[in-house]
Amino acid sequence: MDITFLKRLATTSIGRKALMAVSGLLLGGFMLVHLAENLLLFKGEAAYNGWVDLLASNPVTPLLEIGLLLIFIAHIITGVWVRVEDFLNAPSGYEARNWQGGRTIGSATMLYTAAAVLSYLTYHMLTFRFVDHSMGFYQMVTGAFRSRAFVVVYIAGSAALALHLSHGMQSAFQTLGLNHPKYTPLIKIGGILVAVLMTGFALISVYYLLGIDLKAAEAGYQVVIIR
Ligand code: HEM
């Protein structure tokens, strides 16, 4: 990408907002892919570990991880920057933020849900990413989800993520000027749908906490080999 273009994006207020919007949409896209990956847990140990091994052995994966990290960093920096700028530029006694798409619980709590998601992500990285994986990913993840404390973090974190995206997704489209009487309602519905899907992370953890997989296996539902 042209470096002067990136410089212009970072040094103008509108550019920083666009950067925040684009990085936010990319992160939303990553979350959907990551949710789909984690649904593989329901297909069992071989399917889940097979997918993670495939990713780990792909030479492109480290590049994607670096890209993802840069997108996260860009989103956090531009998010804080835009917020501080809005605060400093607002006339005193006036609402600090001109909310795009009207004031909702999602828009009013953006800063708090952002902090909660960042803490959730840090916890997630410390417990799943930067640890010994020798027991296998499936065992690590499902084992962790047998713990009540762990699942409480996942429920709270996923709720914060859902609330953040309930405003963030549609706001990003508005920032990028993608407004149209016909499509804006669809974008709003799409944003809410993505937000609701984020509760899937919590539901997966609750599934293992309640031992539904073990009960299904006991009842003989899990492995059917037809020869
Ligand atoms: C059911 C819930 C989830 C499960 C089971 C899960 C599982 C995992 C696992 C096993 C890894 C490590 C992969 C590796 O080391 O190669 C990982 C990485 C990651 N997860 Fe999650 N995750 C969940 C939810 C989330 C949520 C809610 C977020 C965001 C807030 C998130 C963000 C990430 C990121 C950014 C990475 C690093 C990507 C990479 O380096 O490949 N995950 N996840």
Q: H-helix or E-strand containing 43? A: none
pLDDT at 220: 75
Condensed to tens digits (0 to 9), the pLDDT of residues 127-161 reads 999 999 999 999 999 999 999 999 999 999 999 99
- Residue from 25, 222, 59, 29 nearest 142 by CA: 222
Domain, as residue range, for 60: 3-218
**Which amino acid makes up residue 1?**
M
Examine residue 78 and state whether it is found in any structural domain, yes or no: yes
Within a domain: 165: yes
Rounded Cα–Cα distance for residues 153 and 155 (Å) = 6
Candidates 23, 32, 34, 35: which one to mutate for ligand 1, based on the most atoms within 8 Å of Cβ? 34
How many distinct helices (H) and strands (E) make up the chain?
11, 0
Q: What DSSP string describes 172-223?
A: HHHHTT---TTTHHHHHHHHHHHHHHTHHHHHHHHHHHTTHHHHHHHTT-S-
* Best of 37, 201, 203, 204 for a ligand 1 pocket test (most atoms within 8 Å of beta carbon): 201
pLDDT (average), residues 88-92: 77
Ligand 1 nearest atom to the CA of residue 161, by list position: 30
Q: Is 38 in the pocket of ligand 1 (CB under 6 A)?
A: yes
DSSP 58: -
Task: Give the span between the Cα atoms of 73 and 104, in whole angstroms.
Answer: 26
* Residue 60: inside a domain: yes
Instruction: Give 154 Cα–ligand 1 centroid separation in angstroms.
Output: 12
> Residue 180: inside a domain, yes or no?
yes
Half-sphere exposure in the Cβ direction for 66 (13 Å, CA): 4
> Could you tell me the CATH number of the domain that includes residue 176?
1.20.1300.10
pLDDT at 227: 46
Q: Domain count for the chain, please give it.
A: 1
Is residue 210, in this structure, part of any structural domain at all? yes
pLDDT at position 1 is 61
Q: What percent of the chain has pLDDT over 70?
A: 92
CB of 113 closer than 8 Å to CB of 163 = yes
Mutate to test the pocket of ligand 1, among 39, 42, 124, 158 (most ligand atoms within 8 A of CB): 124
Which residue's CA is minimally distant from atom 43 of ligand 1?
A: 128
Assigned domain for 225 exists: no
Tell whether 227 is covered by a domain: no
Query: Are 167 and 106 spatial neighbours (Cβ–Cβ below 8 Å)?
Result: yes
Tell the burial category of 10 from Cβ atoms under 10 Å away from its Cβ (0-12, 13-18, 19+): middle
Domain presence at residue 223:
no
